[in-house]
């Protein structure tokens, strides 16, 4: 009898402990999480080298207006066209091109052909899923021996150049391609993340230190957040 009561008490305490360790996290208060926004914006930035690997078809110093494929006809397909166009405009300006808002003021039109821009996500889980029963008066939370949530940002595009006055095709750039990642792992009750994003947001009171680095960007390397 004593052994039976002891087993019941141990099981009850273990259940209470597991329930107390369960955590509910709401990932975002906006349409997109900050991590997802960074995955997209930094993948665009990474796709643009400081100097083009191959010279662009029009010479530096030329006046250029930008147009993004599908921007007006299919805004639902790739809603990040505006961001891509603005970042690309800044990069072309750094290469010596003069960006104009309308065709009348420019000699060339640069059509940005977006092959892909967005994020991908997958989840791996090993453990016991959450249990809800009408027989017992409480539910058991998810118990993960291992769980991983992997997010990837990806962009691929190229630029076609046309002479505005004649409509003549001048040439095309090579493809600009880049990706980013942010992975979140849980092993039993320990969690950590790995990423190549610059200064991603960190959740929890133990990660409440300020992100402002005084204008000095941290070195790009994966970090592990325990």
Q: Which domains does the chain have, with CATH numbers?
A: 32-130+138-207 (3.40.50)
In angstroms, the CA 106 to CA 103 distance is 5
- Report pLDDT for 74: 56
- Report pLDDT for 40: 95
- Report pLDDT for 4: 55
Q: What SS3 state is found at 176? A: strand
Neighbours of 161 (CB within 10 A): 19
- Report pLDDT for 222: 47
Q: What are the residues whose beta carbons fall under 8 Å from the beta carbon of 43, sequence distance 6 or more?
A: 117, 153, 154, 155, 178, 179, 180
Best CA proximity match to 68, nearest among 91, 37, 89, 97: 89
- Report pLDDT for 143: 76
- Report pLDDT for 144: 77
Q: Read off the tokens for 58.
A: 């029009």
Place of tokens 């091109």: 97
Q: Read off the tokens for 57.
A: 């078809």
pLDDT along the chain (226 residues), means of 10: 53 45 53 90 95 90 89 61 93 95 92 93 84 70 83 96 95 95 87 89 60 54 46
In angstroms, the CA 151 to CA 135 distance is 38
- Report pLDDT for 128: 77
- Report pLDDT for 220: 47
């Amino acid at each position: 009898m004593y052994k039976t009561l002891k087993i019941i008490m141990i099981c009850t305490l273990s259940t209470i402990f597991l329930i107390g360790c369960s955590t509910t996290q709401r990932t975002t208060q906006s349409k997109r999480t900050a991590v997802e926004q960074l995955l997209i914006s930094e993948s665009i930035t990474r796709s643009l080298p400081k100097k083009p690997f191959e010279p662009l078809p029009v010479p530096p110093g030329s006046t250029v207006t930008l147009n993004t494929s599908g921007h007006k006809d299919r805004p639902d397909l790739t809603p990040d066209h505006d961001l891509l166009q603005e970042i690309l405009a800044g990069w072309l300006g750094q290469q010596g091109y003069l960006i104009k808002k309308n065709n009348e003021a420019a000699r060339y039109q640069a059509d940005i052909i977006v092959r892909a821009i967005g994020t991908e996500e997958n989840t791996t889980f090993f453990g016991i899923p959450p249990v809800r029963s009408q027989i017992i008066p409480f539910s058991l939370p998810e118990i993960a021996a291992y769980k991983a949530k992997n997010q990837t940002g990806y962009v691929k595009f190229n630029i076609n150049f046309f002479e505005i006055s004649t409509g003549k095709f001048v040439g095309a750039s090579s493809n600009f391609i880049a990706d980013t990642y942010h992975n979140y792992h849980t092993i039993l009750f320990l969690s950590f993340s790995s990423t190549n994003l610059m200064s991603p947001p960190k959740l929890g009171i133990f990660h409440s230190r300020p992100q402002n680095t005084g204008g000095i960007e941290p070195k790009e390397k994966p970090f592990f957040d325990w």
